Amino acid sequence: MGLSPPVILLSGGSGARFGSDEPKQFALLGGRPLLLHSLLALRPLGGPLVVVAPTPFIERTRTLLNGPDLGADACRLVAGGATRQASTLCGLRALFGDYEVPDGTPVVLHDGARPFLQQDEIDRLLAAFRNPQVEVASLARPIPETLVVAGAIPGPITGTVDRELYFSIQTPQAARAGVLRSLMNEAPGDQFTDLLTWAEASGRKGWLVPSDARNIKVTVPADLQLAERWLESR
């Protein structure tokens, strides 16, 4: 029996845009930290789980992971880096150092501040890898608003674009373990904002999978207020 898809949960950011003294992943949603919501959504996968946390908050994160909802042996906890890409590399090194992950196995990467991930979204993402030509995949949403090009706001519009050709990239994302090992050697720099841009830098094209409208990322306090309303409406 093959290894269940491993997961790397990225929660290494400082949360500067959230305007709090502590990272946003510790903000409470329905009485639980955002990070815990994201973790519990991923537990049904059943594979190895690596959590990447900011160095100053490692012990705070460890306390959360050791709580009754997860259990002490549920996760491997590692310190992140100064950028998202650096944190991703920290998580991958820990995963591949601790587990033998076959090259064809998808490795899932998710944000610790996306609390509403649904099982059917995970299923759709992993189903994409039934196609042997898919190396990297990501959840994504169409963009409903009109899109224009401008140098700044306020400022003049310099053009419009066809929104049918543009999509908002979300997590989770996934890539085959062999591809990730290659990327770690080919392009390990810090300039990549997500898995798709990292893969594209090495000439690999990603595959998009539709996500749910509620798979929001909590970035600013208004996002948390919206998440609270959605949670209450369930």
State the first-to-last Cα distance of the chain, in angstroms, to the nearest integer: 36
Cα 46 from Cα 7, distance rounded (Å): 9
Residue 186 DSSP SS3:
helix
Sign of CA dihedral 29, 31, 32, 33: positive
Closest listed residue to residue 126, CA positions, set 118, 138, 114, 116: 138
| pLDDT tens per residue across span 32-59 | 999 999 999 998 898 999 999 999 999 9
Q: Is 2 domain-assigned?
A: no
- Reading phi first (left if > 0) and then psi (alpha if -120 to 50, else beta), residue 31 is in left
Domain ranges, residue 145? 7-233
Peptide bond into 154 cis (omega under 30): yes
Q: Is 1 domain-assigned?
A: no
Cα 226 from Cα 232, distance rounded (Å): 10
Cα 139 from Cα 207, distance rounded (Å): 9
Average pLDDT, the chain: 91
Give the pLDDT score at 19.
Answer: 64
Lowest mean pLDDT among 10-19, 25-34, 156-165, 185-194: 10-19
Q: Is 44 domain-assigned?
A: yes
Closest listed residue to residue 62, CA positions, set 75, 47, 48: 75
- The domain tally of the chain equals 1
Cα 87 from Cα 69, distance rounded (Å): 25
Cα 55 from Cα 60, distance rounded (Å): 10
200, pLDDT greater than 80: yes
Q: Is 125 domain-assigned?
A: yes
pLDDT band with cut points at 50, 70 and 90 for residue 145: very high
Cα 58 from Cα 55, distance rounded (Å): 5
> Would you tell me how many other CB atoms lie within 10 Å of the CB of residue 90?
20
Q: Residue 158, Cα to own-chain centre: how many angstroms?
A: 33
- The CATH number linked to 133 is 3.90.550.10
pTM for this one? 0.93
Q: What percent of the chain has a predicted confidence (pLDDT) above 70?
A: 94
| pLDDT tens per residue across span 55-98 | 999 999 999 988 877 765 668 999 999 889 999 999 999 999 99
Q: Is 205 domain-assigned?
A: yes
Q: Is 157 domain-assigned?
A: yes
Cα 177 from Cα 103, distance rounded (Å): 5
Q: Is 183 domain-assigned?
A: yes
DSSP 8-state class, residue 71: -
Cα 147 from Cα 161, distance rounded (Å): 6
